[in-house]
Amino acid sequence: MTNTTQQGYEEIDLIELLIKIYKFFKKRYLLILFCMVISAVLGVLSNFLFFKPRYQSTMIISSRSLTASEVAGIISTLDAFAYEENTEELAKLLNIPEKLAEKIVKIEAMPNREFQKNVEKDFRKDSTIAIKLEVTERNEWKTYEKAILDYLENTPHIKKKTLLYKESQERLLQQVRKELKHLDSLKKIIEAGGTSKSQFIVNSGIISSEIVNLSNKENEIKMSLFFADEFQIVKSFDNLKKPKRFSYKGTLGTSSVAGFIIGIVVSLIIELNKVIRKREGRE
């Protein structure tokens, strides 16, 4: 019996609460609607007047030994300074004029997903990185591109890795050239022998084949030294003409929600003042 009565009271309290909420919104809906409209208008107007056009572009690079997550960690330092609007430090790191650093809004690195869809399974997919840059000036993409690559290449850790790689390739090249010289000398000595055995060795092509293999190896090492930098550009920044502008729908939605909350808060304050005045009048 007690439980049934208690349940009845709870249902009555819930109904009364819903009725009070309904009455509150019915009484103050015009004020809430007014706050929503004013907030939406102010939000769109402020964005229209003060929002700077932004240009977004993506550069794709490949790394010889680093993963996208490692590159993202290095790039995050630049993004942090751009977010904090610390243009002086950003300009120092990128070695660009401070005026250009001021135009950087956002910079981030991530795995290049589109490229990864088209590569073989045994290829290290995470070695291709997409670097997204958002700026307020569209005419300096080449400057930003060079600045970002130089910043990455001159990071102490990467600089040391590149130097060690070059040194190892140089040693390997010297070794291959030494072997080539030795084989070439050996071939000349055998050819000068004039015996049938010497002629057989020369005609068998064993030495010539080895010389060709070593020559190919030499060219491969030369190529690797030519592209010895840690990063190579797969796709450059695009010189975009159309700026990214603010979203009217997004701005209207956010501003309207903010106005709705403001309207409720103002309405509650008005109702609270009324209650306080009534109590003060009774006293």
pLDDT of residue 118: 47
How do strand 231-235 and strand 128-135 relate by DSSP bridges? Answer: unpaired
Provide the domain count of the chain. 3
pLDDT of residue 86: 93
- List, for the chain, all residue ranges whose pLDDT scores fall below the cut of 50: 1, 8-10, 115-116, 118-125
Please report whether residue 266 resides in a domain: yes
pLDDT per residue over 156-209, tens digit each? 888 888 888 888 889 998 998 888 888 778 777 766 665 655 555 555 567 778
Do 154 and 102 reside in the same domain of the chain? yes
pTM greater than 0.95: no
Structural domain span for residue 180: 161-230
How do strand 104-111 and strand 128-135 relate by DSSP bridges? Answer: antiparallel
Contact between residue 257 and residue 32 where contact means Cβ atoms under 8 Å apart? no
Do 23 and 70 reside in the same domain of the chain? no
Do 138 and 168 reside in the same domain of the chain? no
Given 100, 124, 158, the domain boundary residue is: 158
Please report whether residue 144 resides in a domain: yes
Do 69 and 154 reside in the same domain of the chain? yes
The residue among 225, 212, 219 whose CA lies nearest residue 180 is 212
Please report whether residue 143 resides in a domain: yes
Cβ-based neighbour number of residue 107 at 10 Å = 23
Given 110, 127, 158, the domain boundary residue is: 158
Do 168 and 124 reside in the same domain of the chain? no
Do 16 and 64 reside in the same domain of the chain? no
Do 153 and 172 reside in the same domain of the chain? no
Q: Rounded to an integer, what distance in angstroms lies between the CA atom of residue 151 and that of residue 92? A: 10
Given 158, 180, 205, the domain boundary residue is: 158
pLDDT of residue 242: 64
Do 142 and 121 reside in the same domain of the chain? yes
